[in-house]
Amino acid sequence: MDCARTALRLGAQVSVVYRRARRDMVVLPGEIEALLEEGGQLQTNCSPSQFLGDGTGVEGVRFVRTEQGTPGGDGRRLPVEVPGSEFDIGAESVILATGQFPDTKWLGSGLAQKIVAEDGWLSGGDGQETSQPNLFVAGDFALGATTLIQAIGHARECARKVDAWLSGVKRPPAHAFAAPAFHSKLSGGRDTGRTPQMNVIPIHAMPMLPPVDRKLHAEVETGLPADMAVEEASRCYLCHYKFEIIDEKCVLCDECLNVKPVDGCIVEIASLARDDEGRVTGYTRIEEGKTDSLYYNRLWIDQSQCIRCGRCESVCPVNAITIQQVSLRA
């Protein structure tokens, strides 16, 4: 999309051709619409089969139409070519966006046989470690095209693994997360400031230049004005706040269940699942007649459903619900 829209600003006639359906395109929200607004064209379900030209330059591309077949490993349906559906599109320049693979041509043949798989990807590269014990990889070279943040995170973990391999010592992370608990009802306490009404604040569309004004050096997204920015920020779910029920204090009075704004934010559970380091990774809900007692065994706040509104904490009669503010500490 970046290349196509830049080419439009340089005065080219641009057509983007994609081998799957439009819904399968991995693009940011609004990018396709912006391409079309700016005069670009989009054709889907067309797969390239041949470049056309006389040997001195490209003159066009031959495509074959496709249909959506069975889902692939990523859940998207694999394109199936339709026999006899070939057609040509004239072109003076072609920009390929057909995927990326690590360039391993610089590797010696002996090393390449050890660490490069038959599909062109690195053996074991996803986890920073290759099949060669003293060789590590990071970022897009291991993962393919990802976001900048994913590449940075992957490289940071790679550095930790290299350090552990060199030193023989597994060091703790350079930063730790501190989570001091506080009760918002206590004297001098505070609450999150978030209300259920904030759940229905709509997404504010980013103001943009009119298509006619989108020149090569113009900034297309002009930014939100202050009042809209504040309201948009109010949609944040405050994930650095963690609401938790202290099981030893809870008297199962149902007050929190009666005021919960989201179905599933507070659940009756039979047990918790933990990893090797004791961290909670999930829970098992009670099954009537099997894992429940007279009523239920335990309440649990599901952080993936919690909207940090504070209703449960405010009605708890025994202060069994804490609010932990998690912060990064150097």
Fold of 181-194+237-329: Alpha-Beta Plaits (3.30.70)
The mean pLDDT value for 168-185 works out to 62
Q: List, in sequence order, every beta strand (DSSP E) within 113-248.
A: 176-178, 181-182, 241-245
> Which pLDDT belongs to residue 151?
87
What average pLDDT score do residues 309-317 get?
87
The domain ranges of the chain are: 2-90, 109-167, 181-194+237-329
* For the chain, percent of residues with pLDDT exceeding 70: 88
Question: How many CA atoms are closer than 13 Å to the CA of 74, on its beta-carbon side?
Answer: 6
What tokens does 154 get? 């992957």
Is the pLDDT at 126 greater than 80? The verdict is: no
Task: Indicate the pTM of the whole model.
Answer: 0.60
Residue 187 has pLDDT above 50, yes or no: no
pLDDT digits (tens, 9 = 90+) for 7-29: 999 999 999 999 999 988 888 88
3, 97 contact by CB (below 8 A)? yes
* pLDDT tens digits, 34-64: 999 999 999 999 999 999 998 889 999 999 9
Q: Which of the four pLDDT bands, split at 50, 70 and 90, describes residue 157?
A: confident
CATH code for the structural domain at 2-90: 3.50.50.60
Report the chain's mean pLDDT, rounded to a whole number: 84
Residue 183: what pLDDT?
Answer: 47
Kindly indicate the confidence band of residue 197, based on its pLDDT and cuts at 50, 70 and 90. confident
- Strands 266-274 and 280-285, bridge-based pairing: antiparallel
- 34 exposed, middle or buried (CB, 10 Å; 0-12, 13-18, 19+)? buried
Rounded-to-integer distance, Cα 118 and Cα 170, Å? 33
pLDDT digits (tens, 9 = 90+) for 231-275: 999 888 888 888 889 888 898 888 999 999 888 899 988 888 888
Using DSSP's 3-state secondary structure scheme, residue 43 falls into strand
pLDDT of residue 7: 95
Of 179 and 112, the one with more pLDDT? 112
* pLDDT at residue number 189: 52
